[in-house]
Chains A and B, each alone.
Chain A
């Protein structure tokens, strides 16, 4: 029996199509308002460049499959999954991570609401929830409870901090009023 990758069949990975070796290129990225130049194969998922080349900690690897949201960043203000976006597709666009979500030196209202509601257990997932909620509130300042839940339906929180995170999003919506 031959298995190229044990229990992780290549077909299950959306990024696998771009996995064919390609030479590194010079790519300019604008992250949290700062321009960076990185050397990376164009097909490298943005997540690895943000974490490993730019040493950012907000976006995290959870699945690499677009299923959990742990890697969420904003691309021109929209919440996207950096584990499935090739770095080349982010060049020339505005990338915002959890570290750069708030105004300089301050927390974004959604981040503040997560602190106020003590809305996490381990917090590994929280990047996805905060970034997705911030994008939602930018679009829909006063969402209903059902709208919040469905906007956050693509996220995983294994610890089960859902109730507090939902409360935090409501609190942030009210504080922005």
Chain B
């Protein structure tokens, strides 16, 4: 899919509600000629990190990020078929954080499906999250696409057993750069489940996998990493069209490994530096990825946001809604066989703030 193959149609009712038309996305990019059954849109909100302060008080900044995404998402017209939440709803997996997050998410119109993040999990192995939202891994079919949700933030037993309780595990895992943390993994149990789940799916069926951590290895220092990524990729290899969508990294990343396209999604809470901005460790940021602009700390929503995803002919186009910035689109390009940023490819077309150092 190249920009020429794309046609545009109005997507948000600019007149409706809460937010001014100027801050709203104006168009949906849709593949020309795709049949309605193959072409649809879902919204993707992620990494809200609802953080309890004390009493009834939560960190205002993170609350606002999620509230804004929910409000903007509700203005989409036509409606997305469903909304995914990509994990890290909470900061320390406290029941009051998950409750407050669930309450804010309940403002969304339409069905919402959840992915587990490490900040939702380690205090109680995801027990409270599961009570609110259901199973930690599952699959479903929608308009000819097979969707899989994995809990990719598990870790090895030796690390788990090092700590006295969930509170200690959560405290260690919550620090992105904490050397006492531990690399994520999907684990043998879910890999076996995934094999079984995909056994009855035709190799032509487009697959979309949702994980919290990238199912590829990018930067171990900050756990932009899944230890058994290659083993999961092996299970996905036989399928012709595979798309992996992940949260956790709080920045735009995209990559192509064989038949598998990777797209990350933005956080509503705060942006993260790109790995190359840490001078003391090598980064494997995919060469394909053109970084987004550096964030302005004086505008607290800068470089946060949410996205809507078109699935056209089984391939993903991710549209990133970044407050006070133009919508950015990273779409699968059939000729190049990889995701491409529709605006920033050429080095010369990049802006100064895209230089991270």
Q: Do A and B come from one complex?
A: no
A-contacting residues of B (Cβ < 8 Å)? none
B-contacting residues of A (Cβ < 8 Å)? none
